[in-house]
Amino acid sequence: MDKIKIAVLVSGGGTNLQALIDAQKSGILRSGEIVLVVSNVKNAYALERAANNGIESLTLTRKACGGQEGFETALMHELDSRGIEFIILAGFLSILTKRFTDHYPYRIINVHPALIPSFCGEGFYGLKVHEAALEYGVKVTGATVHYVNEIPDGGQIILQEPVRIEEGDTPEVLQLRVMEQAEWKILPRAAEIVCQRLQKEK
């Protein structure tokens, strides 16, 4: 059966992209193939990771596209012209509008570094999520992979993985533990689940 064509959208270092690439090599992600990496930030290190693994990449910025609408129109054109069937947001720090998410219903997923519905929604990204978890004093945090709709972190949950908070944790220490123990594990697994579903729907 043909593999599902995947595009990964990134904004930074691309550690989750690397987890997906590694999962593809090890066979955890076997029903889909990453064929494109798109960054909305010039010189994001994730682009180097794509190049190192022979994956096509491109950069699209809102500024260069004349705003959000132009950015999304250009992005849809790049994705659709390559026959992309599935989109993974991996540290992609740009909110997508309903026009975009409706174009790919149940074909976009995101990984969020907390157990939704805690510490999620607009403004909760990166270290801010872990700062909030520590400030609140929760004993367990984790990561969530969910479908993407027009509401930030509002789509249906696919997988969650808990991570214990330990005495003396800083936001930086906690961020790394959540990545290692949760994000990098459940994002590839969720990607495989969605690819299998999309193959059946073909």
From 77, 112, 130, 146, active-site residue? 112
Contacts (Cβ under 8 Å, ≥6 apart) of 71: 40, 60, 61, 62, 65, 94
Residue 130 annotated among the catalytic residues of the structure: no
- Residue 160 three-state SS: strand
Beta bridge partners of 120: none
Alpha-carbon gap, residue 78 to 81, rounded angstroms: 5
Kindly provide the residue ranges of all beta strands, DSSP E only, lying in the chain, ordered along the sequence. 4-10, 32-39, 56-59, 86-89, 108-112, 140-147, 157-164
- The residues annotated with a catalytic role in the active site are 112
